[in-house]
Amino acid sequence: MMRPLFFPAAARIADGYRRMLRRARSLSALVVLAIFSSCAGDGFRSVQYESVDEASWGAFEPLSFTLGPVPSAGPYDLRLLLRMSSAHPYPYKSLFVEVRQQWGTDGAVRIDTVECHFAQTVWATEGINLHQYDYAISSRHCRPADSVRIALRHLMRKEEIPGVSNVGIALQPSAE
């Protein structure tokens, strides 16, 4: 590279500018690498929601889900997801949900009861707000291509309960 003889200050500025460009390129390459490496790994998460009547979810209205297949062997968590609506306030402090699981093709059914506790806040707001809750159901070591069928219903004494707008299930790798 040839430097101008008559403008040494301009040559120093140009060299500094080139160094700054090299550093910027290196930094942008590191940022792109960091973004892609943060997305690496098993990002599998299977989620399904079912809508229920916010005014009254009936105890004899079971909800059905099929999740999977899982992409690789390992421990997976099954989670219950609830969305509560302020349009029809839920009148209790907790909710009991029966979860029936059938994994793969073995036919065995596992039944769990999940007790869901809710925050004691006043939901008296203008408009309609949804409050989301997430509860652990169980963990299981899965084989590749395993899937699960889920049926759930609430176990409250009152046959119909208000305030629940969506019920969902999530299957995701364990954080172990």
Domain with residue 62: its CATH number is 2.60.120
What's the DSSP call for residue 5?
A: S
Q: Both 12 and 33 in a single domain? A: yes
Q: What percent of the chain has pLDDT over 70?
A: 70
Q: Both 19 and 70 in a single domain? A: no
CA distance 100 to 113: 9
Q: Both 68 and 140 in a single domain? A: yes
Q: Which domain holds residue 169?
A: 46-173
> pLDDT tens digits, residue range 162-173?
989 999 999 999
Look at the chain and report how many structural domains it folds into: 2
Q: Is the pLDDT of residue 19 over 50?
A: yes
Q: Both 34 and 50 in a single domain? A: no
Q: Both 50 and 93 in a single domain? A: yes
pLDDT band at 129 (very low <50, low <70, confident <90, very high): confident
Q: How far is CA 171 from CA 81, 92, 95, 108, 143, in A?
A: 11, 27, 21, 19, 14
> pLDDT tens digits, residue range 45-93?
899 999 998 888 998 889 999 998 989 999 999 999 999 887 888 888 9
- Strand segments, DSSP code E, in the chain are 46-51, 57-58, 63-67, 74-85, 94-103, 109-117, 130-142, 148-154, 160-161, 164-173
Q: Both 27 and 81 in a single domain? A: no
Strand partners, 133: 82
Q: Both 103 and 24 in a single domain? A: no
Check residue 35 and give its pLDDT. 47
Report yes or no: 61 and 164 within 8 Å, Cβ to Cβ: no
CA distance 28 to 116: 46
Q: Both 66 and 138 in a single domain? A: yes
> pLDDT tens digits, residue range 95-126?
999 999 998 877 789 999 999 998 755 555 56
Q: Looking at residues 20-43, what average pLDDT do you find?
A: 52
Q: Both 85 and 150 in a single domain? A: yes
Check residue 160 and give its pLDDT. 92
Q: Both 71 and 146 in a single domain? A: yes
Q: Both 52 and 28 in a single domain? A: no
Q: Both 25 and 91 in a single domain? A: no
Check residue 114 and give its pLDDT. 96
